[in-house]
Structure 1
Amino acid sequence: MHRLHGLDALRGMAALVVLFMHVFGFAAGHLTVDFFFMLSGYVMTRTYEERLAGGGLSPLRFLAARYRRLWAPMAGGVTLGFIVYLARGGPLVDGTIAYGLGLMMVPAGATTPFLLNLAAWSIFYELLANAGHAAVFARMGNRALFGLLGICASMLVAATALVEFPRILAVTSLEIQLLVIPRALTSYLIGILAFRLLRDRPVLPIPLWAGLIALPAYAALVAFAPFPLWQLPFIFAIAPVMLASGLAPAGASARLWEWLGNLSFPLYALHVPTIQFSAMAGLNAQATICLCLLVAIGWMLAERRLAGHRPRTSDALTIRYSTAR
């Protein structure tokens, strides 16, 4: 199955938006995670669903493959976060428990579930969505999936209107953690249905540049002119347009986009503790961004060196993030 370099470009751009959001603190950058969830649903369907539905790949083997794919950068992020936590004088027992659970990529409690690396929250929910995909969604028809999407989307809209848009912050609650589940599933299910219905062929041709500027432009709009429920148009309209734009041919920029896509997950996994280290060292915003990029590039090159020149697997486009997730 050929690689979709446009999706690589979008992954890289989205990871950069997350980095800039955490350095400069602007609104709407956290919606990048919803795009990562959607992209994960699309790519997992494209790559694995036929085997999952047909019994050629068991849910357990699929989840084991996902863990192997995601674990090393996340372990690096939580380890760096543990070092920063200890340097700040955090309680050793709490930090050690959080570190052990962080290595397993699971929450460490109700109020500070991702104490050592906040970015890990989206990976946990992506894995939950992956588990649901392997166990249930892959065997559901489109009509049933649309029904499930309607339920999840209704729960997300209700939570946003009545409580708040569910997102995991440094300090949160069990209730918010539960409300994030329909948020993650809404975007993930849209991704599944997008591949089933489009099969790499968008209804209307959308240029890649439009997808690349959509998220930064929406973040700028929200920063200057916020409006009620502003998170929802991104999930239900902007993110699907971005996904469709990534299906366009990459042309001469394919190698650049592939490089950017390969960088996106190490950058996402490692940037939060790197920012915390930069704050301890008194670095300014520009130096912090440069350090985050250098750490991610170093990790990517080290992984490539360790992996040697083995052929790429069919999982080459998985997130993290998506994206992550």
Structure 2
Amino acid sequence: MGVRQDDQRRVFHILDLLRAVAALAVVGHHLGGILDRWLPASPLAVDLFFVLSGFVISHAYDGRLRSGRLSASAFFRLRIIRLYPLYILGTLLMLALVVAKRLSGHGALFPIEAAVSSLAFAALFLPTPNAVSVAPGVVFPLNNPAWSLFWELAANLAYALLIRRLSRAALAALVGVGALLLLSSSVHYGGLNIGGLYATFPGGMGRVVFGFFCGVGIEHLHRRGRLPGFSLPAGLSAIILLLVFAFRPAGDPALYDAGAVLIAFPLLVALSLGDPPRWMEPICSKLGVASYAIYALQTPFLDHFAFVEHGLAFELGFLAVLTAIALVADAVYDRPVRRFLSRRFAAA
């Protein structure tokens, strides 16, 4: 299967498929049932997200940022517009749930003022301090997966500010530093299922520095024709990803997690840049579209069902329903809101 060298509008359908599989695996992990036991390394999906993000962003924006046709501030606005609408929707849905449960006496006890302050920090895309949080200890108490979006935006900003001065040697050094940080975090915390709590939040830095800039590096190699001229079939790429998620050792997973992220994921992305059969392209595209909405909206939908044994059929059905909700949210909410925000702010 050949790798086509197209322009910046090229869609990498197999990467879309990998992103969707990873997003669904994360939700399966958060359900805490059968899928979590079958795919114990699914929290590493976040690291794959970072690699994919670095690749896709470099592919879409590298030339414009380096030439000055797109400023760092304009690029960062584009990234906020891309991530914010679904993130804040998931946050508001979760806020409504926790307040309703609190008022009905079925939820955790917290001052109503904590809900207001938690929302205020969330609206600014900032971690909520423990002293004013509805869930002390959690970095983003109203949308727990948002800790990774915070690091993603930090990496996006650093990329935009550095890209004009980012030589090949500097990029390699940055990836190397990220790898050392990630390895030390994995050893220190006993694995890479970290970042969502304040106790492990610093460990997210190594994950994003390595993952994002590794993705940038893979895109640079791809653009220069330095990668193998073949691609894995789409289905095989997805199966390999699931196998990486499945074979995490039961004991200390620190070295396994680090090896998966430092070796397996970069190789998988580099070998998944081809084109699937034409009939698969719309499927991969739809799943890719749904993937971010699945990730950003999962928290309120998981609130009632997580860590209660429901059986495999329920878990698969839950993933299917959440995917459908994600597609609807993308069509009727996210795209219209992003179009409005783009008209209103992108050219500012």
Given candidates 238, 261, 271, the residue that maps to 1:235 is 261
Q: 1:186-201 counterparts in 2 under 5 A?
A: 186-199=210-223
Which range moved further: 218-227 or 179-188? Answer: 218-227
Q: CA distance change for structure 1 residues 292 and 81 in 2, over 3 Å: closer, same or farther?
A: farther
The aligned residue for residue 69 of structure 1 is 82
Q: 1:95-244 counterparts in 2 under 5 A?
A: 95-109=115-129, 111-165=137-191, 167-168=193-194, 171-173=197-199, 176-199=200-223, 202-203=227-228, 205-207=230-232, 208-223=234-249, 228-244=254-270
What are the superposed Cα offsets for residues 181-233 of structure 1, whole Å, 9 maximum, x if unpaired? Answer: 12211011110110111129632523133321122212221156765511111
What are the superposed Cα offsets for residues 84-109 of structure 1, whole Å, 9 maximum, x if unpaired? Answer: 22212442222221122222222112
Mapped to 1, the partners of 2:195 and 2:185 lie a distance apart of 16
Q: CA distance change for structure 1 residues 103 and 93 in 2, over 3 Å: closer, same or farther?
A: same
Which structure would you say has the larger RCO, counting Cα contacts within 8 Å and 6 or more residues apart? 1
The aligned residue for residue 82 of structure 1 is 95
Q: CA distance change for structure 1 residues 171 and 183 in 2, over 3 Å: closer, same or farther?
A: closer
Given candidates 282, 289, 295, the residue that maps to 1:255 is 282
One-letter amino acid of the structure 1 residue matched with residue 217 of structure 2: L
Shift of 1:147: 1.1
Q: Normalising by the residue count of structure 2, what TM-score does the alignment of the two structures yield?
A: 0.80
One-letter amino acid of the structure 2 residue matched with residue 238 of structure 1: A
The structure with the largest alpha-carbon Rg is 2
Mapped to 2, the partners of 1:260 and 1:89 lie a distance apart of 35
Contact 1:74 1:103 in 2 (8 A): no
Q: Which runs of 5+ in 2 are unaligned?
A: 1-8, 102-106, 131-136, 340-348
The aligned residue for residue 319 of structure 1 is none
Contact 1:160 1:166 in 2 (8 A): yes
One-letter amino acid of the structure 2 residue matched with residue 213 of structure 1: I
Mapped to 1, the partners of 2:192 and 2:144 lie a distance apart of 15
One-letter amino acid of the structure 1 residue matched with residue 14 of structure 2: G
How many residue pairs match? The answer is: 307
The aligned residue for residue 342 of structure 2 is none
Q: Match of 2:198, SS?
A: coil
Contact 1:206 1:241 in 2 (8 A): no
Q: CA distance change for structure 1 residues 16 and 73 in 2, over 3 Å: closer, same or farther?
A: same
Q: Which runs of 5+ in 1 are unaligned?
A: 312-325
The aligned residue for residue 316 of structure 1 is none
Q: CA distance change for structure 1 residues 179 and 97 in 2, over 3 Å: closer, same or farther?
A: same
Mapped to 1, the partners of 2:317 and 2:164 lie a distance apart of 41
Shift of 1:130: 0.3
Q: CA distance change for structure 1 residues 94 and 46 in 2, over 3 Å: closer, same or farther?
A: same
Shift of 1:266: 0.9
Q: Normalising by the residue count of structure 1, what TM-score does the alignment of the two structures yield?
A: 0.85
Mapped to 1, the partners of 2:184 and 2:249 lie a distance apart of 23
Mapped to 1, the partners of 2:325 and 2:302 lie a distance apart of 16
RMSD: 2.6
Aligned sequence identity (%):
24
The aligned residue for residue 305 of structure 2 is 278
Which range moved further: 224-233 or 15-24? Answer: 224-233
Shift of 1:288: 5.6
Shift of 1:28: 1.1
The aligned residue for residue 320 of structure 1 is none
Mapped to 1, the partners of 2:73 and 2:55 lie a distance apart of 20
